[in-house]
A = this chain, B = another copy of it.
Amino acid sequence: MTNIKKDNTEEKILSAAQNVFVRKGMDGARMQEIADEAGINKALLHYYFRSKQQLFEAIFKSVFGKIMPNIMLMATSEKSIEEKLGAFIENYIDILMKNPFLPTFILKEIHRDPEFLAGMIKESGLQPELIISMFKQEMDNGNIRKMDPRDLIINILSLSIFPIAAKPLMSVVFFDTDQKSYNKFIEKRKVTVKEFVLHSILIK
């Protein structure tokens, strides 16, 4: 029989820890801040997760595990290549817009601890070969022009992720720090990026 109090608290901790870690990163995050945001004290954090490191790993795995499967969806759907790519780009940019700190958080942490990342990817059962072979298939069938599938994947991710990762810079340089026009611009990019990518894979 599950203890209601425990579950509530653990959820509150995880939620608060995700907020703080994703914004500040492992190095910048403070256990005190997480405790405050969860409405509890530091001691209780250590009761649920022995150390900051363990709490961080729980958060990183959770966040990483939510973002990655989206990418794999490109491989498994039954739709046409145009539809698959379109749906992915639209959906992915949407997720990132709602979590604008996520891209830079992941970039930060994979630089800080690449070995942890490597181990996690192995555990995760992520299979990039599936996407690669899907694209190869489409090329062999003459549906899209021949190119290195890795370039295609990386182009899609670059165009979708970078403008969110660089939000503070773009916001100042192009939008005079006005959030609304930045958001409108990114919203439009769902279409722009889609067209841009589809245009690039057409058989000439």
Contact = CB atoms under 8 A, between A and B. Distances in A.
B24 A169 contact: no
* Chain multiplicity (copies): 2
Chain A at the B interface: SS class: helix
A166 B107 contact: yes
Q: How large is the interface on A (under 10, 10 to 19, 20 to 34, 35 or more residues)?
A: 35 or more
A86 to B, nearest CB: 17
Given A104-B111, A165-B165, 15 more contacts: A24-B27, A101-B111, A106-B169, A107-B108, A111-B168, A114-B168, A117-B168, A117-B169, A151-B189, A151-B192, A154-B162, A155-B196, A157-B162, A158-B162, A158-B163
22 contacts: A25-B25, A27-B27, A106-B169, A107-B107, A117-B168, A117-B172, A118-B172, A121-B172, A128-B174, A147-B192, A148-B188, A151-B192, A154-B163, A154-B170, A157-B166, A158-B158, A158-B159, A158-B163, A165-B165, A196-B200, A199-B199, A200-B200
